[in-house]
A and B are shown apart, each in its own frame.
Chain A
Amino acid sequence: MSFSALNLSDLNLLVEDTWVLPALLLILFPLFNNGVSSSVYPSTLLLPPDPLSSFLGACLKASAMIAITTLVLGLAGLYRTEQSIERIGHGAHIVVLLDRSKSMDYTYAGKAPDGSDESKSSAAKRILTAFIKQRKNDRIGVAGYSTSPLFFMPLTENKQAVLAAISATDLPALAYTNISKGLAMGLSYFQQQDSQTGSRIILLVSDGAAVIDPESEKKIRLWAKQQNIRLYWIFMRSQNDPGLYEKPENPRDDNAQSMPERYLHLFFSSLNIPYKAYQAENPKAVQEAIDDINQLENMPLHYIEEIPKQDLTGVCYGLAGFFISLLLAVKLYEAKA
Chain B
Amino acid sequence: MTRMIKNLKDYRFYCLVFALLAMLVIYVKPQTIKPQAVYNFTFIIDITRSMNARDYQHKNEAISRLQFIKLTLRELILKLPCQSKVGLGIFTERKSTLLFQPIEVCSSYTEINSVIEAIDWRMAWAADSRIAKGISSSINQLKDGGSHVIFMTDGQEAPPINPRYKEDFSELKGDLKGMLVGVGGLNNIQIPKYNNKGKQDGFYLEDDVPHRSTFGMAPTSSVPIGQFNARNAPFGGSKVVGDQHLTRLYEPYLQDLSKDVEWLYHRLETSERFNLVLQTPHFAEQKKLLVDSRKYPAMLALLLLSLVYFPKYRYK
Contacts and interface: CB of A to CB of B under 8 A. Distances in A.
B312 A324 contact: no
Contacts of A332: 3-4, 7
Contacts, number: 170
Interface string B125-164: 1100000000001000100000000000000000000000
B10 interface: yes
A151 B97 CA distance: 12
B223 interface: no
A172 B12 contact: no
Contacts of A29: 306, 309-311
Contact of A68 (B99, B112, B122, B306): B306
Interface stretch (B101-109, B186-194, B264-272): B101-109
Contact of A150 (B109, B123, B308, B309): B123
B87 A164 contact: yes
Given A64-B308, A175-B125, A151 B302 contact: no
B311 A150 contact: no
B51 to A, nearest CB: 15
Given A64-B309, A71-B302, A148-B123, A160 B103 contact: yes
A161 B123 contact: no
B238 interface: no
A168 B99 contact: yes
B302 A75 contact: yes
Q: Which 9 A-B pairs have the closest CB atoms?
A: A321-B23, A168-B98, A151-B118, A32-B311, A29-B309, A165-B100, A147-B125, A161-B111, A164-B101
Interface of A: 1, 23, 26, 29-30, 32-33, 35-37, 64, 67-68, 71-72, 74-75, 100, 142, 146-154, 156, 158, 160-161, 164-165, 167-168, 171-172, 174-176, 313, 317, 320-321, 324-325, 327-328, 331-337
Interface of B: 2-4, 6-7, 10, 12-13, 16-17, 19-20, 23-24, 26-27, 78, 82, 87, 89, 93, 95, 97-104, 106-112, 114-115, 118-120, 122-126, 137, 141, 294-295, 298-299, 301-302, 305-306, 308-312
